[in-house]
Structure 1
């Protein structure tokens, strides 16, 4: 009976969203096999026959960077094939003020092959410096999109993000991929402009969640390119492409950007996302203590904010029995009428070490890969999130299809 319900749900999703069938691969099934026996495992197991379709609950975080170089055409296509209904381009700018997709304005040295190109490496803000084993100095470099023209940026190839801080050569420095990721699909990562990402996402039939990245250069850039110009330019590229604002979820960690869109682009601001990283940036922040949230949920809502997006661990905690439950922060956000999105699933390796940053508030009960679905289930059922960013969208797509989520 449950299997039939899940198949019907997937077909209904496809009809409602106009989506194509998703290709989930083996990972969701591996996680379900690893999940401890119980109601959740039984429910998810009933849906193994599919079919599966794209869903807006599944948001591709930088594409599918668990196995593909992030923010590349290949990574985006993989995320869409795995059922993500929304894809992310993190937006920054080049020296000639063209918008491109990169997680950080200054991550080219870890996420592209720039250091292997001497003419372009020489333009880096901080050229490569090898590790100094006598003084424990780490190898380092800093290469920014703002160091290059758009044409120069487009000549680069994406690689798996990472660097070896103990490296004495550029070749060794570029070999820093975490062991739980893979180089198998990292042979030819095609970098994307923001405009190219819009065209690609339209062709894939998915929605858009661009993140306006905080600039690492002084603003106004070169004296006259101000933050508001940057924020407006990003929205203007959707308007020029004829994209319906209802299909766009603009994001920023800077509340000022969200407030700018609310004031200047109210149609696009209806789904603007305030990315909340106060757990890292505000001293004393506690997801269980409303007194440490400034501004609070009601104030954010009164300013016109509609959606808030903290990391996973801010939304969940453990009760006295070790059960995973919503945090006070999660309950307050819902009470204030805020929609909630969270980040980022499948970014924590095997979970055999407690899951690291994204699972820190529940690490005492995180033991194995299957616990990914335990946490996702609480986020969906109890916290009531409207979507989940994932580095491997198939995991979330499977859950959303099976649980009849949009």
Structure 2
């Protein structure tokens, strides 16, 4: 049950501007971690890691930590990139909170995981006037031909005012749906719609104001455009990358509180050249496993550019998916991967994404656990992986869909 005093403090903080928190302030901020971290500890395999974490009981104080990075808010149970999700993440102790950045038709920046995901993350298809503006209208599935249901609705299809009128929902769609209602009603069984009755969408400026008022740090991810650039002839990728930084400067946010991210190395290099104070903390998100068929995290010869070259170009922080940093050891334990070892050798800082995004782990954990699938068979392996990432690899933070888990771990092991 939510503690009334903490609730009042959090609600007040969401309304009243506050100066950026110092490290001491952050360490004193109470966190509500709930029962899930303890459930995960109980389901860990026996061993030293479980013993260490089991010693951290529910009665000790837990505080916000920068090691705990909110991935899209708290989308394990709240609609992603909504005010409600951000508040939940902050209450669970996320020290850094993410906003994936896309742009609207009138070139305003908003928080959305992809430029063209409104059909799966909002109620746009249930709003005929706005659905009519979608790049590709809803088409129902046709069982006779095998055609799947589809739609494509983009932030760039709408003005900021139109975007803000939408309601966020849990990210999901039903490819076999023959109606809009069925297409939208597809939340995974291991998530919930319990907190999805309201999902307040946010502009990037509103996200900055809210996170600043909560005393947390920022990690905006510049999403790759899904429309031709320059957009409508004049809005270039560089304009887009610069606009993100300009909004922090206009809000009086120091560069030291901002960790801009991109999967496109060109954006990181732009920030390094044009905005070095912000660029020095820029995060290169490594998704080459999905974009480069030759890329193999176990074979350095396929890494183009390699770790040393990234460092030479000025990149300081590298963030791959969880699985690229680990491998299954011959003794059935989780071990650092060659990729992780070479990144450390090159002096690159490491983050990892995204914990608590895989649902139940009894069948191997899917994409995020693919390199350790053979030794993943229980939900407690979430914490076993997290322990290796911190202790053996030295990541400085982990993105999580349920920040209570990373907050709990960081407090237990003394991570900042």
State yes or no: 1:29 paired with 2:4: no
- Contact 2:26/2:215 (8 A) holds in 1: no
Match of 1:240 among 250, 275, 285: 250
Which residue, out of 73, 81, 97, partners 1:87? 97
- Give me the TM-score of the superposition, normalised by structure 1: 0.96
The 8 Å contact of residues 72 and 192 in structure 1, kept in 2 or not, is answered as yes
Equivalence for 1:276: 286
Give the corresponding residue for 2:74: 64
1:385 matched to 2:385: no
Match of 2:48 among 39, 48, 52: 39
Aligned partner of 1:225 in structure 2 is 235
Tell me the residue number matched to 2:130: 120
State how many pairs are aligned.
Answer: 394
Q: Cα deviations across residues 168-199 of structure 1 (Å, max 9, x unaligned)?
A: 10000001111110000000100000000000
Which residue of the other structure, out of 330, 341, 350, is the alignment partner of 1:340?
Answer: 350
Alignment correspondent of 1:331: 341
1:18, CA displacement in angstroms?
Answer: 5.0
The aligned counterpart of 2:180 is 170
Q: Provide the rounded CA distance (Å) in 1 between the counterparts of 2:254 and 2:212.
A: 11
Structure 2 distance, partners of 1:140, 1:59, is 32
Structure 1 residues 114 and 210, CA gap change in structure 2 (3 angstroms): same
Q: CA deviation at 1:16?
A: 6.2
Farther off after superposition, 278-287 or 241-250: 278-287
Q: Distance in 2 between matches of 1:156 and 1:20?
A: 32
SS in structure 2 of the partner of residue 25 of structure 1: coil
| Alpha carbons 1:63, 1:391 under 8 Å: kept | yes
CA distance in 1, matches of 2:321, 2:395: 12
Q: 1:303-340: per-residue Cα shift (whole Å, max 9, x none)?
A: 00000000000000012222211101100111111000
Q: Is the 8 A contact 1:19 1:205 kept in 2?
A: no
Pick from 190, 193, 198 the counterpart of residue 203 of structure 2: 193
Structure 2: distance between partners of 1:143 and 1:170: 13
Point out the more displaced range, 316-325 or 334-343: 316-325
Structure 1 residue 138 corresponds to structure 2 residue 151:
no
Change (3 A) 1:76 1:242: same
Match of 1:10 in 2: none
Shift of 1:19: 4.1
Task: Give the Cα–Cα distance (whole angstroms) in 1 for the partners of residues 50 and 27 of structure 2.
Answer: 29
Note the alpha carbon deviations across 1:78-123, whole angstroms, 9 max, x for none. Answer: 0011010000000000000000000000000000000000000000
Contact 2:26 2:63 in 1 (8 A): no
| Gaps in structure 1 of 5+ consecutive residues | 1-12
1:3 aligned partner: none
Aligned counterpart, 1:215: 225
| Aligned residue number for residue 325 of structure 2 | 315
Task: State the match for 2:157 in structure 1.
Answer: 147
The aligned runs of 1:154-165 (5 Å cut-off) are 154-165=164-175
Native 8 Å contact 1:14 1:53 kept in 2: no
- Which residue is equivalent to 1:105? 115
Aligned to 2:8: none
Q: Indicate conservation of the 8 Å contact 1:90/1:101, yes or no.
A: yes
- In 1, the alpha carbon distance for the partners of 2:358 and 2:325 equals 17
Is structure 2 residue 379 aligned with structure 1 residue 365? no
Aligned residue number for residue 54 of structure 1 = 64
RMSD of the alignment, in Å? 1.0
Structure 2: 5+ residue runs without aligned partners? 1-21
Instruction: Return the offset for 1:280.
Output: 1.0
Judged with a 3 Å threshold, the aligned counterparts in structure 2 of structure 1 residues 18 and 39 are, in CA distance, closer, same or farther, namely closer
Larger displacement relative to structure 2 (182-191 or 45-54): 45-54
1:286 aligns with 2:296: yes
Per-residue CA shift, 1:41-91, capped at 9, x if unaligned? 111111112200000000000000000000000000000110100000000
- Following superposition, the deviation at residue 15 of structure 1 comes to 3.2
CA contact (8 A) 1:14 1:54 kept: no
Assess if the C-alpha contact under 8 Å between 1:14 and 1:20 holds in 2. Answer: no
